Amino acid sequence: MASDPTTDDFPIVDPHQHFWDLGRNYYPWLCDPKPVPFRYGDYSPLKRNYLPPDYLRDAGALKIVKTVHVQANWDPTDPAAETRWLTEVAREYGYPHAAVGAAYFNREDNAEVLAKHAKSALTRGVRNFPASTETPAQEARGAAGSMDDPKWRDGYALLEKYGFSFDLQTPWWHFDAAAALARDFPKVQMIIVHAGMPADRSEEGLAAWRAALETVAKEPNVAIKISGIGRAGLPWTLTANGGIIRDAINIFGPERAMFASNYPVDSLAGSFQMIYGGFRAAVSNRQIEERRMLFHDNAVRIYRL
């Protein structure tokens, strides 16, 4: 049965969004004059303050009732300062409702940073970008700073102490290592960020991406966020992204997948309405209970909202 606007008029939780105030805080990628390599290409439109009123304006009529702020590559010398700032933002605006901080597991100050994050009632977990390769052909296990690195893993092991979840951002060709990590730390909830980053939309590329998702989805403590699936220089369309959305949900099941905006970053790919309209259209044939899971319930459960 297809969805209709009346039955889909339930509240939405956005489990992946960002705020920043470039006048008050330092984000190297946004503040420094020299741009960094970025998967969406030119990101200069993002170099402006983005706070809850901006986010709610972009969301428009969508009923976004709660959000999870994911670390925005703040000054790496003091990752926990972002969490302290977000506590002030939440106090002033009522958003965000939870936060995923930055953590660098192989740094000497990792334990101290995690302890500082834990002081905020907003913190639910951390995001980390393990060492990765640029292409699947280069992939090899055991690199320094990777999910196989013993020092990196020692840092990861501390997440269990605080009951933190783990937002993993890495290309899909490292998901064999991610599956091993999830198995070795079954009490840590892992969340795959940006649908595993399926940039290669060739038939061969998508087949490899699906196989990688199937590998990591075997672990019951792994979920997936469907977000960040735009492509550089191309508009966000259901034609381009519908298959990605449906495949990810089919592989993980509707109880372990979540839709997220990745705003304002994904404003480079499409409007909030285009992206969420695409999400809705892609799952219009699913039961209302499953749609509610994808847009609301799973995020509430996984991020303890």
List, for residues 100-154, the tens digit of each pLDDT value. Answer: 999 999 999 999 999 999 999 999 999 999 999 888 888 888 889 999 999 999 9
What is the structure's pLDDT at 181?
98
SS3 state of residue 185: coil
What is the structure's pLDDT at 7?
56
Exposed (0-12), middle (13-18) or buried (19+): which is 219, by Cβ within 10 Å?
Answer: middle
Q: Are 196 and 175 in contact (CB under 8 A)?
A: yes
What is the structure's pLDDT at 142?
87
Residues in the chain with pLDDT < 70? 1-7
What is the structure's pLDDT at 133?
87
List, for residues 86-105, the tens digit of each pLDDT value. Answer: 999 999 999 999 999 999 99
Q: Are 56 and 94 in contact (CB under 8 A)?
A: no
What is the structure's pLDDT at 140?
83
Distance between CA atoms of residues 66 and 216, nearest Å: 28
Q: Are 258 and 15 in contact (CB under 8 A)?
A: yes
13-302: CATH, from 3.40.140.10, 3.20.20.140, 3.50.50.60, 3.40.30.10:
3.20.20.140
Q: What is the DSSP letter of 293?
A: I
